[in-house]
């Protein structure tokens, strides 16, 4: 487990530089989850570290396989200085612990809801999980382990989350793209859904 997390942190540092802050959260019955903060000009990136220590298991399986199964970490990118986004650290740790706590398999296209604003005053309480392979390249592990995928999180307003449940992730992402939505804006309003 420690070896995997060391490789994950090395991959994050290679892709994003040195973190300027880190926080750790431990929930009862789970492994420790850290959140690292990276500043890149006017963008702040938050990355989880710890979610990939164990593979995500199918909640219907009688026994969780300790080796096989998808592994992931989460990435959130926001514009710096517009909101108190550092308060997202605990929320990200909660989302990263959800595979251990709730038996979820977090995959692209999924919605994750925190049940409260991502940070104080945020118009978002949920995120859309996007495809990996962009900002941070997947980390290959020795067989039979699956690679660690670095999944971007795209904040969704309540209206966008409801629309996504009906229309699907692909249509919501196309709507954002066609309207030129700045998904890194921590204060943005909902995209036009008419």
User: What gap in Å lies between CA 25 and CA 8, rounded to an integer?
Assistant: 18
- Condensed to tens digits (0 to 9), the pLDDT of residues 101-151 reads 888 899 999 999 999 999 999 999 999 999 998 899 999 999 999 999 999
Cβ burial 86-95 (10 Å sphere, 16+ → b, else e): eebbebbbbb
- Condensed to tens digits (0 to 9), the pLDDT of residues 60-97 reads 776 777 788 899 999 999 999 899 999 999 999 999 99
**pLDDT for the residue 47:** 98
Q: What is the mean pLDDT of residues 147-166?
A: 96
What is the share, in percent, of the chain residues with pLDDT greater than 90? 79
- Tokens (6 digits) for 77: 């990118």
Q: What is the mean pLDDT of residues 158-176?
A: 95
Work out the end-to-end distance of the chain between its first and last CA atoms, rounded to an integer number of angstroms. Answer: 47
**pLDDT for the residue 85:** 93
Residue 29 has pLDDT above 90, yes or no: no
DSSP 8-state symbol, 147: P
Query: Is pTM, for the whole model, over 0.95?
Result: no
Q: What are residue 155's DSSP bridge partners?
A: 127
**pLDDT for the residue 28:** 75
**pLDDT for the residue 26:** 84
Are 190 and 175 a contacting pair, CB within 8 Å? no
Compute the mean pLDDT over every residue in the chain, rounded to the nearest whole number.
Answer: 92
**pLDDT for the residue 1:** 65
- How many angstroms from the chain centroid is the CA of residue 62? 27
Sheet holding 124-129, edge to edge: 21-25, 33-40, 43-49, 71-79, 148-157, 124-129, 111-113
């Amino acid at each position: 487990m420690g070896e995997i997390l060391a490789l994950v942190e090395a991959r994050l540092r290679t892709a994003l530089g040195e973190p300027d802050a880190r926080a750790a959260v431990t929930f009862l019955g789970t492994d420790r989850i850290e959140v690292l903060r990276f500043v890149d000009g006017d963008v702040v990136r938050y990355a989880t570290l710890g979610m990939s220590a164990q593979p995500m298991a199918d909640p219907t399986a009688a026994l969780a396989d300790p080796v096989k199964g998808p592994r992931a970490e989460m990435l959130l990118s926001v514009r710096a200085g517009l909101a108190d986004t550092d308060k997202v650290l605990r929320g990200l740790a909660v989302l990263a612990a959800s595979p251990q706590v709730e038996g979820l398999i977090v995959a692209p296209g999924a919605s994750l809801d925190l049940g409260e604003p991502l940070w104080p005053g945020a118009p978002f309480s949920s995120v859309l999980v996007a495809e990996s392979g962009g900002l941070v390249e997947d980390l290959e592990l020795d067989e039979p382990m699956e690679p660690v995928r670095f999944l971007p999180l795209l904040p969704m307003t309540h209206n966008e989350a409801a629309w996504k449940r009906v229309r699907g992730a692909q249509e919501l992402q196309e709507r954002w793209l066609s309207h030129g939505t700045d998904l890194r804006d921590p204060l943005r309003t909902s995209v036009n859904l008419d």
